[in-house]
Amino acid sequence: MSGDRPLPLAGTRILAFTQLGAGPYAMTLLGDLGAEVLKVEDPISGGDEARNVPPFADDGDSLYYQSLNRNARSITLNLRSEAGRNLLQRLVAHVDAVYSNPRGDLPAKLGLDYAALSPFNPRIVCCSLTGYGRSGPKHAEPAYDYLLQGLAGFMSLTGDPDSPPTKAGISIVDFSGGAMSALGLVVGLLRARETGVGGDVDVSLLDTAVSMLNYLASWNLTRNTEPQRHPDSAHPSLVPSQCFATADGHIVVMCMKEKFWQRLAPALDLAELADDPRFATIAARFDHRDELIPILKQRFASRTTQQWIDTLRGDVPCAPANSVAEALRDEQVIHRDMIVEYEHGRFGRVRQVGNPIKLDRTTPRYGPASRMGADTEAVLKDLLELDDTEIADLRGARAI
């Protein structure tokens, strides 16, 4: 992709009080597209715990940290000290947003909300991504992706019927919450630029996860049905739409429309099934899935995954059930510039997945995350015009 347009978020500056996964993911999405992310780390606690997450972690940096903090500059700031709090107030006058992902009770306690910061910048947007939101009976409790997958019902929907509740293989709530908070922050910035007044943006991992229940929630709330798990990761209502074992692996087939079933049956050399009254409609196949699926399983097991892909591709929605390594080598993934790289002082060439938002004639920027506190002096000199003596005084006060 050739880029001849400026990055759309260039000139947007965010003070980011982020830890671990969800918040940093949000900032990576925005940083790739031009936002200047000033990641604020606590010099007393040692900064973001993600810096030490194994494997491939050493000397305050890790591939986990780099994957979630791309492009971020790092400054240190101790909000427990009066000098640190005063410094935050001065910095707020020079940024567009303050973003944080703590427990729901902490934005107010730490002075990271609009009530605390608007006297120093009435246009400031204060976005918090918390586990349970900033209100409610659980708001002060810590929350993590794994917990939210359980609480929001995701684990009851994942896995085979006889297996215990099962988490998704990726941090799906963290990443979804991060993406939702990035959207919320941008919406808040648009409102501030239109009205001249900022405000609070309150996004929670639980709210995000529950919103993703979507049609399953509607079935339950409107008709009191409890979604059930089906073997082979099958769709709850569309048949056949599931994973099938092949001669050498697995293939996922999705007959979301009648026309795909009408194409699938003859492609499997089972054309007679298309006219069988038991399988002629979506409703009929749903009622007779226990009769249809064993026939299809036997047929899919007779050839390799690639042979079936070659047969079905373009006519019936299908995909191999890839390993992570296979997914990262997929021709479409490569074509879409989803594998990116940059040079890192310790890791050398770091390869990562790229930004999923594609803008015409715009190339995202990809670069390493700074070491903890590496940009503190430069930011204080550039934004606040502090001199070496003033910075030394702040260090003496343990503010930075």
Tens-digit pLDDT profile for the chain (400 aa)?
A: 446 889 999 999 999 999 999 999 999 999 999 999 999 999 988 899 999 999 998 888 999 999 999 999 999 999 999 999 999 999 999 999 999 999 889 999 999 999 999 999 999 999 999 999 999 999 999 999 999 999 999 999 999 999 999 999 999 999 999 999 999 999 999 999 999 999 999 999 999 999 999 999 999 999 999 988 999 999 988 999 999 999 999 999 999 999 999 999 999 999 999 999 999 999 999 999 999 999 999 999 999 999 999 999 999 999 999 999 999 999 999 999 999 999 998 899 999 999 999 999 999 999 999 999 999 999 999 999 999 999 999 999 999 9
Structure tokens of 320?
């191999």
Look at residue 1 in the predicted model and tell me its pLDDT: 43
* Fold of the domain built from segment(s) 13-212+345-396: Rossmann fold (3.40.50)
Per-residue pLDDT tens for 51-67? 999 999 888 899 999 99
Q: Give the whole-angstrom CA distance, residue 285 versus residue 144.
A: 39
Per-residue pLDDT tens for 288-326? 999 999 999 999 999 999 999 999 999 999 999 999 999
- Which residue type is seen at 242? Q
Report yes or no: 31 and 37 within 8 Å, Cβ to Cβ. Answer: yes
Extended beta strands in the chain, E state:
13-17, 36-41, 57-58, 61-62, 73-76, 97-100, 125-130, 199-204, 241-245, 250-254, 318-320, 339-344, 348-353
Per-residue pLDDT tens for 15-43? 999 999 999 999 999 999 999 999 999 99
Look at residue 73 in the predicted model and tell me its pLDDT: 97
Look at residue 3 in the predicted model and tell me its pLDDT: 60
Virtual torsion, Cα 128, 130, 135, 138, nearest 10 deg? -170
Extended beta strands in 22-83, E state:
36-41, 57-58, 61-62, 73-76
pTM: predicted TM-score of the whole model, two decimal places = 0.92
* Fold of the domain built from segment(s) 231-321: formyl-coa transferase, domain 3 (3.30.1540)
Find the largest Cα–Cα distance for the chain. Answer: 85
Look at residue 137 in the predicted model and tell me its pLDDT: 95
**HSE value, Cβ hemisphere, 13 Å, CA-based, for 331:** 2
Report yes or no: 16 and 99 within 8 Å, Cβ to Cβ. Answer: yes
Burial 189-212 (b: 16+ CB within 10 A, else e): beebeeeeebbbbbbbbbbbbbeb
- Which residue type is seen at 40? V
Structure tokens of 35?
């936002």
Smallest CA-to-CA distance from 393 within 82, 38, 75, 45 is with 82
Burial 354-389 (b: 16+ CB within 10 A, else e): bbeeeeeebbbbbebbbebbebbbebbeebeebeee
Q: Give the whole-angstrom CA distance, residue 296 versus residue 9.
A: 50
Domain ranges of the chain: 13-212+345-396, 231-321
Which residues are 245's β-sheet partners?
250
Q: Give the whole-angstrom CA distance, residue 27 versus residue 98.
A: 11
Our CA angle for 106, 111, 114, nearest 5°, is 105
